[in-house]
Amino acid sequence: MDQIHLMNVFTAVGEEESFAAAARRLDLSPAAVTRAVSALEDKLGVKLLVRTTRNVRLTEAGRRYLDDTRNILASIDEANEAAAGINSAPRGNLTVTAPVLFGRLFVTPSIVRFLKDYPEVEVSALFLDRLVNMMDEGVDVAVRIGHLPDSSLKALRVGQVRRILCASPQYLAEHGTPQHPADLLRHTVIAASGVSPRIEWKFGAPDDPTMVRMKPRLTVTSNDAAIEAAAAGLGICRLLSYQVPRELDDGRLQTILPDYEESPWPVHVLHRESKYGSSKVRMFIDLLVEQLRAHPHLN
């Protein structure tokens, strides 16, 4: 059997952890899927899958081979697309990731515009407040906030955000405006992340920081909830500036202690380097970078 066909079938079985599900995904019979995997194992001389009556799981060799087959098949798709012509219309699947609120406020408009312009493209948007491994999860484009570690990924800087303190005008009118980080100890604090009863907030330059140990009255794991609580006049919360552009613009929240802010955090668009360029990835990155660099809340 054709090697690429065998790799495609094995990849589907490995990702689905099921021969039947892989058969449905590939529109093949279960028997054809079983024959293909057996042929591949015979060709390689190694066991890739362990089959039981209830499930299918990868061996250690199978897990390594699955990573390799994903990369090889992705490169083949990109090579085919490049050979078809750089000016051909983008088509196929595109996977994008970003933090939840950033994705909703800043990335979704670019995705919507891209899908309207190119009807043969499908996008999977993973908006998650965790670090997504682009290779393991098949992500084409990622937005990262903060300083980047060294990696093989290509990074394009598109702006910056600040860590800010904010509260409603109503709250500040009733309780006063803090003039120094130590004043926060006398105020109601809303923590936008974590579950610890006490947290430390750092202010100022990296070489001369001011640390304040806070005891929040309200701790939530959702930034949206913290924003709503602060806008309703409960207290002071600490967020990234991109998370509250509307609230700052319409006056429901205002920043406090701007002179004690830490240095801004860079925002980058990342993608995986490859020998061949995928037109859908290139063209989406061009659109996303252009729109993010022009956004007033990122500069």
Which pLDDT belongs to residue 204?
A: 79
Taking only the tens place, the pLDDT of each residue in 138-179 is 889 999 998 887 666 788 999 999 999 999 999 999 999 999
Taking only the tens place, the pLDDT of each residue in 30-59 is 899 999 999 989 988 999 998 876 788 899
Closest CA to 201 of 215, 188, 217: 215
17: left (phi over 0), alpha (psi -120 to 50) or beta: left
Q: What is the DSSP letter of 262?
A: P
Q: Which long-range contacts (CB under 8 A, 24 or more apart) does 222-225 make?
A: 222/192, 223/100, 223/101, 223/192, 223/193, 224/101
Q: How many CA atoms lie within 13 A of 249 on its CB side?
A: 7
Residue 105 has pLDDT above 80, yes or no: yes
Pairing of strands 236-240, 163-167: antiparallel
Residue 191 corresponds to which amino acid?
A
**CA angle (85, 87, 79) in 5-degree steps:** 35
- Give the DSSP letter string of 134-180: TTTTT-SEEEEESPPPP-SSEEEEEEEE-EEEEE-HHHHHHH---SS
Is residue 145 within 8 A of residue 107, CB to CB? The reply is no
- Residue 269 to residue 57: CA distance in whole angstroms: 35
Please list, residue by residue across 117-137, b when 16 or more beta carbons sit within 10 angstroms of its beta carbon and e when fewer do: ebeebebeebbeeeebebeee
Taking only the tens place, the pLDDT of each residue in 194-210 is 544 568 888 876 666 78
Residue 15 has pLDDT above 60, yes or no: yes
Closest CA to 201 of 213, 185, 186, 189: 213
Q: At which residue do the structure tokens 């070489």 appear?
A: 207
- Residue 32 to residue 34: CA distance in whole angstroms: 5
Taking only the tens place, the pLDDT of each residue in 229-266 is 999 999 999 999 999 989 999 999 999 999 988 889 99
- Residue 108 to residue 139: CA distance in whole angstroms: 16
Residue 267 has pLDDT above 90, yes or no: yes
Backbone angles phi, psi at 238, to 5 degrees: -120, 125
Which value, to the nearest 10 degrees, does the dihedral of the CA atoms of residues 95, 154, 65, 139 take? Answer: -10
Q: Helix, strand, coil shares of the chain as percentages rounded to 5?
A: 45, 25, 35
Cβ-based burial of 113 (10 A; exposed 0-12, middle 13-18, buried ≥19): middle
Please tell me whether residue 234 adopts helix, strand or coil conformation. coil
- Residue 176 to residue 190: CA distance in whole angstroms: 16
